[in-house]
Structure 1
Amino acid sequence: MPVTVLLVDDEQLVRAGLRAILEDQPDIKVVGEAADGASVVPLVRQLRPDVVAMDVRMPLIDGIEATRAVLRSVPQPPKILVVTTFENDSYVYEALRAGAAGFLLKRARPAEIVHAVRLVAEGESLLFPAAVRSLAAAHGNARARAVLERAALTGREAEVLRLMARGLSNAEIAEHLVVGTETVKSHVSAVLAKLGARDRTQAVIAAYESGFVSPR
């Protein structure tokens, strides 16, 4: 089955470019488009995409609010990939905190766009560069620190979280630790459960906000 994608951007030229790039792949299918965040929830309910490529800045309802609305009101929601112009935009960080699984720069090369959609669809890896890690660290707070303390991660779980924060996939973590991929998946699931995190992105944000991991 192909990965299905909903494109959300107020610029028609951007949507057309993304559609052309993604539909050139045999395993990806664009199932719909929207020009504003207000249309996202109804379209997600109707089309059931695997991934929503969401512009973060739109005139009526922006990508942050649209992300929150999808995750709040749609059962088994799709993965949300924020599409933005600037990687250090605070809007990007807020979208990640709201529940987006990662983000993609509009100037990315076609191969990077395709790779990002596949990764987010699989829930395998984060798109979390240094600029966003620094934003997360700058938003450090006592609540995040308390969550990490209460989680009482084992030594191996803590190591897995640090590797997740570096953006490593399950396969890459397995190679680094010299263990099986299924073992890594079990550790990742345990980390998410203990942190009360929806996904890897939420866990990594907690790691940086708490100071558990340094952006450097």
Structure 2
Amino acid sequence: MTGNRRGDASKATLLAAGRAAFSQQRYEEVSIVDLARSIGVAAGSISYHFGGKRGFYLAVVEEAAQEFWSELLQMRGPALERLTRGVEKFLDRAEREPRAFEALIADVADAEVRAIREQHRQQVAHALAVEITGTDSTAVLRAAISGSLSFIEGIVLHWMHTGEISREQVRELILANFFSTVLAAVRADPDIELAQRVLDAVMSDSQILSLFVGAELATRSTGNLE
């Protein structure tokens, strides 16, 4: 038992060091020998626990993804507040761990990293759909949410690479896009019924409410003209 606990502790220490290294450097820039030496363990420990540098890197990416998405899914409170905090956490991660964030979010050629990304992305997409409707989502809503997540990933990467707009502007664009996406999905699919918590969020924010009311009035006007 003592040996197992030591092994688990060593593995956790390695993963923490890997998070720090891969968060600031590209995969090819990270030296396993230097990393092991920096925390006072043998380089062979990485091969023992992870099968080598490649397995170690994938374990680091998986742990980072699991930790981040779990934080989002476990948040509690009013819907709009949770959405805003979730966006802030997303931006925090992009600033704090830029290399790891980009490796997980960008459309990379690495099939194994993409598989990790898609697994967690689908979990979040499903959770958002249930949050919006209170039940299983429709195909239209699933497609809309997937598109919104792609927008979020894309604009955050653009912000990271160019710095052309502020963090606050990125956050507002993400929130506006998400609500516009939900609105478009509802208009495209009459079978989508918004959950009460979403209606409460809409009613609590005058800008969001005007967006929904304005779209509804426009739809009615179009219908009357026909």
**Same topology, TM > 0.5:** no
Please identify which structure carries the higher strand content.
1
Q: Under a length normalisation based on structure 2, what TM-score does the superposition of the two structures give? A: 0.29
